Amino acid sequence: MAKSSLHAQRQAEQLESPEDELAIPEPFGEESGDPLEESGCTMDTSEDEIEESVAEDIQRFEESFEGINKRYRLINRVGEGTFSTVYKAEDLEYNKYENRWDIDERESRKWASPPGHRKKTNRPHYVAIKKIYVTSSPMRIFNELELLHDLKNSNSVCPLITAFRHLDQVVAVLPYCQHRDFRDYYRDMTIPEMRRYFRSLFTALHSVHEKKILHRDIKPTNFLYNTELERGVLVDFGLAEREGTDWHPCACTLTPEERRYRTTHSVWAQTQDRPSCYPKNDTRPSRRANRAGTRGFRAPEVLLKCTQQNTSIDIWSAGVILLTLLSRRFPFFHSADDIDALLEITALFGRKKMKETALLHGQVFETNIPSYTENGHSLEKIILWCTNRNTKDEVTGLKKELDDEEKEAVQFLYRLLECDPAKRITAEEALRHPFITKAYEDGEGDEDLELVDA
């Protein structure tokens, strides 16, 4: 029976023998919801009749949170995740405050009649109320609110309007963003539409990364995209953190010469000709690193327990979204744990690439599964397989190929799904990549992407 194992290699010459498999429970980091399950929990809803269970949930919320129904009229439950529930609500005190966050109001004023000719309207103004579960740690809640406050003037990032606390309950009030469920359009999105989608997504990521913040949970359900306005907003900073939080030295920050020296002089390298073995009593400390995120969207360095993760982990997750759109498969990766996730990546990039990536972070990757090739498969071939174009054309007898626009998208995808985080493209560089810049050509880039005034 084929088996797979990932052994941790200690840095420098202290390494004595491979560490136990990474399948042990990881106490550090939090698991976001399954992407397929969460897609059904995020909806763009109107004031149509709501389910009885949702109405009961809203009633319980209003009864437990004193005074919430005096400020807001709760309408429906529009999102439900691992750490919070989101409700659509009407802001009853909208006119008492300055609402610079309201982009829809600014747009309507831009095309309105002159001040003296305007008619007074009492149209409702909607917000999203995020009820953070009491099981969340106070520090995690404070961290999320603090980061949202720091990002309040950032392009394409959902800003924090205000926050309230009642006893042990905390709610954050955010703009309500009209959007479509990702599952409704990912199979039909054209390449030009993908360009505009990722122009908006990388505008948000550039704003976040510019402030040295890692989102840590980039996925379709956390990027609310309006296909009509071709504008999206990045939401849910519950797992976000500042770059450098709880960092410890990792081999990936060493020079290639230093890393090569440590690898060749390690006990692991000196025992390659011996049968694989495990120490009876391993006294080495376990390696701890933040693994927060969603299965299927975690970057290789997160799975390999890199202790100096940076903003490039969000770029990998964005690459998985692009791979999903090009392959028409959602979710593309559907692993049960970190070992399966590494093997799914190995199926694409091959054993050689994964061994190199593991050594980059002071780890050792080994697998004897025969179906995994040494060099993996090209992303072009993967996309052709997934879209049933892996056979010859019946008329010409030639192999089917990607069209020119798809090839350009794949070249961009290679820059996003780079296993070495140091070589991975940044959000700023992505916005200058030809795949994105072509979204501004032929009248595609006239819309204003800003969510709030900078």
pLDDT digits (tens, 9 = 90+) for 96-147: 888 878 777 766 665 555 655 555 556 789 999 999 998 888 999 999 999 9
Please compute the mean of the pLDDT values over residues 160-164 and round it to a whole number.
94
Average pLDDT of the residues of the chain: 84
Output the pLDDT for position 113: 55
Q: What band does 41 get if pLDDT is binned at 50, 70 and 90?
A: very low
Residue 37 has pLDDT above 60, yes or no: no
Residue 245 has pLDDT above 80, yes or no: yes
- Tell me if 252 sits within 8 A of 302, measured CB to CB: no
CA distance 239 to 257: 35
Residue 190 has pLDDT above 50, yes or no: yes
Output the pLDDT for position 50: 84
Amino acid at 432: R
Please compute the mean of the pLDDT values over residues 289-317 and round it to a whole number.
95
- Tell me if 309 sits within 8 A of 241, measured CB to CB: no
Alpha-helical segments (H) within 72-190: 103-110, 138-150
Which residues have C-beta within 8 Å of that of residue 79, sequence separation ≥ 6? Answer: 41, 42, 43, 85, 86, 128
Please compute the mean of the pLDDT values over residues 195-207 and round it to a whole number.
97
Output the pLDDT for position 272: 74
Q: What band does 269 get if pLDDT is binned at 50, 70 and 90?
A: confident
366, containing H or E segment: strand 363-367
What is the chain's alpha carbon radius of gyration, rounded to the nearest angstrom? Answer: 24
**What domains does the chain contain, in order, with CATH numbers?**
4-34+187-443 (1.10.510.10), 35-107+121-180 (3.30.200.20)
Q: Which of 146, 171, 152 is nearest to 245 (CA)?
A: 146
Output the pLDDT for position 44: 52
Q: What band does 220 get if pLDDT is binned at 50, 70 and 90?
A: very high
Catalytic residues: 217
Residue with tokens 């820059």: 415
Output the pLDDT for position 445: 47
Dihedral angle sign, alpha carbons of residues 110, 111, 117, 121: negative
Please compute the mean of the pLDDT values over residues 26-47 and round it to a whole number.
53
Residue 410 has pLDDT above 80, yes or no: yes
Which residues have C-beta within 8 Å of that of residue 401, sequence separation ≥ 6? Answer: 380, 384
Judging by beta carbons within 10 Å of its beta carbon (0-12, 13-18, 19+), is residue 221 exposed, middle or buried?
buried
Output 168 or 43, whichever has higher pLDDT: 168
Output the pLDDT for position 47: 52
Percent of the chain topping pLDDT 90: 62
Q: What band does 398 get if pLDDT is binned at 50, 70 and 90?
A: confident
Output the pLDDT for position 260: 87
Output the pLDDT for position 99: 84
Output 260 or 297, whichever has higher pLDDT: 297
Output 349 or 23, whichever has higher pLDDT: 349
**Percentage helix, strand, coil for the chain under 3-state DSSP, each rounded to 5:** 40, 15, 50
Q: Which of 409, 418, 411 is nearest to 299 (CA)?
A: 418
Residue 428 has pLDDT above 90, yes or no: yes
Output the pLDDT for position 10: 35
CA distance 426 to 310: 11
Q: Per residue in 88-102, pLDDT tens?
A: 999 999 988 888 787
CA distance 86 to 76: 9
Residue 291 has pLDDT above 90, yes or no: no
Q: Which of 243, 254, 235, 182 is nearest to 38 (CA)?
A: 182
Q: What is the bridge-based pairing of β-strands 169-175 and 162-166?
A: antiparallel
Give pTM, 2 decimals: 0.85
Q: Angle at the Cα of 274 (from 272 to 276), degrees rounded to 5?
A: 85
